[in-house]
Structure formats: structure tokens, C-alpha cells
Amino acid sequence: MSFKKKLGMGIATAVLGVGLIGGGTFAYFSDQEVVENSFAAGTLDIGVDPTIAFDINNLKPGDYMTRSFKMTNEGTLDISKVLMNTSFSGTEGFEDHLRVDFLKSDGKVIESLSGKTIRELSQIKNQDITPGFWVWWPFVQEGKGIPIGTEDTIRIKITFVDNGEDQNFLQGANLDVDFALEAHQTEGEEK
């Protein structure tokens, strides 16, 4: 082997040796911490009391009845709005003779439902019945929802409409009507 090759090989061996010795004796300080996170989703839970608002027998044309039920926020999140859908089953045609004269939600008259028959209500999908919030008389701020732990009273008047015509075909008629309520959350916000 030539002198240059021997010299190159010696330098390479020396560099490798110094690297191994230096790498094995390198020391440093270190520290480690853990950031812990926890997430829990809230709940939307709308309660209704009573669950049966109308249970009326022996109706005749011209009869009317007024009932109330309460919606309560039993969840851990504020309810921003409440939507209602109406469905019915029973004697065909009876739904056209039962009229909802008004619907109130803690002082807020829901005009769009006033004077509608049960059939007409069933055709209105996702009707907003979100309660209003009284600021001071006569001002009402609409659509404030139902905050956690509060309630809203819905008042309904239903009339068996006397249309002045022969309604004998409705004798013995019956109708089951459901008002399905759907609560929605408030908008997301920075926490």
C-alpha cells in the first residue's frame, strides 16, 4: 500500500475512533411534561308535562277546550329553538273539523298557527314555537329559547267547528293527534 493510502486510512480510523469516543460520552439535560385534555359533550333534553294535554270524549260541534303543557329544559345545554310537527290518525275527515284557535308560548302568540285545522297543522313541517322573552311591557324579544333549568308554557285552544251543515257522519269519530317537539342547540361559541 502506498504511503498516501496508509496515511488516509490512518486519518479515517482516527476520525472514527474520536467520533465513537465523543458520541458515547455526550451528556445533556432533559425534561418532559404531559398536557392532559378532557372533553365532554353536553346534552339536549326537552321535557314535557303533562304528556297528554287533551283527552276529551263526547264532543259535539261547537265545543271547545283549552289546555296547557310545559316544556322544560332538562339538559345541560341551552335550547335555542323548538320545532313542532303535528301528526294524526283516526276517523278520516275529523281532522278538518278540529281547529287550533291559538297557540301561545309564554305570552308570545304564534300567529302562523292561529286558526289552522289539525290537517293544516300536519302539513306545516318544523313549525317554530320557540318561546319569546319578555323584556318589559309591551316589548317582547322573540326567539330566546329555553335556558338550562327553565320552562315554557304552551297554551292551546281547540274547537270542534260547527260548520252549520249536517255533520252526522262525525258521530262516534275519534282522532289521535301528536305534537312532536324537537329541541335545537344554540350556536357554537368559544369556550
Yes or no: say if 100 and 123 are a contact pair by the CB < 8 Å rule: no
- pLDDT in the model for residue 134: 43
Which residues have C-beta within 8 Å of that of residue 76, sequence separation ≥ 6?
A: 42, 43, 148
Provide block-wise average pLDDT over 10 residues at a time, the chain (191 residues).
66 64 66 93 95 93 94 94 94 96 71 88 91 49 76 91 96 96 92 87
Predicted local confidence at residue 132, as pLDDT: 63
Q: Give one DSSP letter per residue of 1-39, joined into a string.
A: --HHHHHHHHHHHHHHHHHHHHHHT--------------
Cα distances (angstroms) measured from residue 41 to each of 38, 46, 68, 186: 10, 16, 32, 14
Predicted model pTM:
0.75
How many angstroms separate the CA atoms of 132 and 109, rounded?
9
